[in-house]
Amino acid sequence: MNLEEINAVKKLLSKPQKIVIVPHKNPDGDAIGSTLALWHYLKNMEHDAFIISPNSYPKFLKWIPGNEQILNFEKENSQAKEKIKQASLIFTLDFNHLGRIGQMEPALEEASAEFIMIDHHQAPSDYAHITYSDITMSSTCEMVYNFLEFLGDTDRITPKMADCLYTGIMTDTGSFKYSSTTSRTHKVVAQLIEKGAENTKIHNLVYDTNTPSSLHLLGCALKNMVILEEYNTAYIILSQEELDANNFQKGDTEGFVNYGLTLKGINFAVIFIENKEEGIIKISFRSEGDFSVNEFARKHFNGGGHTNAAGGRSDISLTETAKHFVALLKGYKEELNS
Ligand code: 5GP
Ligand code: MN
């Protein structure tokens, strides 16, 4: 953020505002952690602030301090719409185009509030009055820390806020191992621990959450893995039937896609998950090295994200989607083998 933008934010926050904070649909640890950290900060500054999530989020995030006050746009629709209408300021966090909030998009488009975007995904659109976008950042949580630093307010980071921010940085960096993790990321994390983030407890609360069914579902996914050595690619298919048979709960498939990358020589891993209720196939893409899954997802599967982690969707059947995907790989053979 430049000085002009920082001063504009300071001016906005110098008087009481009605604020709505929005994460992307199917919010992950970074989306929930960053919105909650910002919410605590704004509430402590006596602003009238609410988080409205487009839909629900996994159980392994339901301990994060303050999460019980998050409104669900799907379930608390009229209350959420009213808050958006009344808002004087709307923060959008961890996404950068309004298509990422699903059914909530029209409500935000009609809002009269000023928008502030904080996000680290590629190719931001320009709906916000103030855009803090940086694709080199590990996470939106790291950016919220920077945002507070720009405002001269890191002293206002409470232990609860430190827990929120630590969670998002941890989940978005794969526990500090992805290439987006910099020395600065570690410095921020060190500060958060000094400010009271309970690192070991957070790891347990987020990662040690398996149930017998979720482990059986992982077994099913690993059994279904198809390895295409020719393309250094591995993919997994999970049907609605398999999800149902293993008592699928939101969040149970988190991280499954990464198993493909643990195979020697594999640098492109994909998972296709059928969602009968929404009538779509949700896809996650991961890569190691230069192959941009962001570009691949954007071009072929109506999605996007980062160079090494992206998501997308397909509206044709599960098997047709996988067939289409395998056919596409021919055009990327050289890239995937370099
Ligand atoms: P995941 O595969 O874990 O759902 O998402 C990986 C990354 O891609 C995340 O940064 C997420 O925000 C982004 N992402 C996931 N799905 C979509 C999508 O449908 N569209 C776009 N633009 N980004 C997505
Ligand atoms: Mn993120």
Reported as a single tens digit per residue, the pLDDT across 198-232 is: 999 999 999 999 999 999 999 999 999 999 999 99
What pLDDT does residue 338 have? 87
Q: How far is the CA of 25 from the centre of ligand 1 (A)?
A: 10
Check whether residue 67 and residue 201 sit in a common domain.
yes
Q: How far is the CA of 322 from the centre of ligand 2 (A)?
A: 27
What pLDDT does residue 137 have? 98
Domain final residue pick, 207, 229, 253? 207
What does the pLDDT average to over 5-15? Answer: 98
As a whole-number percent, the residues of the chain with pLDDT over 70 amount to 100
What does the pLDDT average to over 63-91? Answer: 98
The residue whose CA has the least distance to atom 24 of ligand 1 is 311
CA dihedral 133, 313, 235, 261 (to 10 degrees): 10
Closest CA to 272 of 307, 215, 314: 314
Q: How far is the CA of 30 from the centre of ligand 2 (A)?
A: 5
Check whether residue 224 and residue 155 sit in a common domain.
no
Alpha-carbon span 333 to 322, nearest angstrom: 17
Ligand 1 pocket test target in 25, 26, 28 with most atoms within 8 Å of CB = 28
pLDDT confidence tier of residue 313, bands split at 50, 70 and 90? very high
CA atoms within 13 A on the CB side of 264: 0
What pLDDT does residue 85 have? 98
Q: Using the Cα atoms of residue 299, residue 300, residue 302 and residue 308 in order, give the sign of their dihedral.
A: negative
Domain final residue pick, 207, 230, 254? 207
Nearest bound ligand to the CA of residue 281: 1
Domain at 144, CATH number? 3.90.1640.10
Q: How far is the CA of 8 from the centre of ligand 1 (A)?
A: 30
Check whether residue 257 and residue 177 sit in a common domain.
no
Check whether residue 9 and residue 152 sit in a common domain.
yes
As a whole-number percent, the residues of the chain with pLDDT over 90 amount to 100
pLDDT confidence tier of residue 32, bands split at 50, 70 and 90? very high
Check whether residue 291 and residue 142 sit in a common domain.
no
| DSSP, res 177 | T
Q: How far is the CA of 96 from the centre of ligand 2 (A)?
A: 11
Ligand 1 atom at minimal distance to the Cα of residue 24: 12
What does the pLDDT average to over 235-258? Answer: 97
What does the pLDDT average to over 249-274? Answer: 97
Alpha-carbon span 215 to 217, nearest angstrom: 5
Looking at every residue in the chain, the average pLDDT score rounds to 98
Ligand 1 atom at minimal distance to the Cα of residue 294: 8
**Residue 242 is part of which domain span?**
212-336
Q: From the CB of residue 110, how many other CB atoms can be counted at a distance below 10 Å? A: 10
What does the pLDDT average to over 318-330? Answer: 98
Nearest bound ligand to the CA of residue 93: 2
Domain final residue pick, 207, 237, 253? 207
Ligand 1 pocket test target in 306, 307, 315 with most atoms within 8 Å of CB = 306
Q: Give yes or no for residue 115 having a pLDDT over 90.
A: yes
Alpha-carbon span 35 to 33, nearest angstrom: 6
Q: How many domains does the chain have?
A: 2
Ligand 1 pocket test target in 284, 295, 302 with most atoms within 8 Å of CB = 284
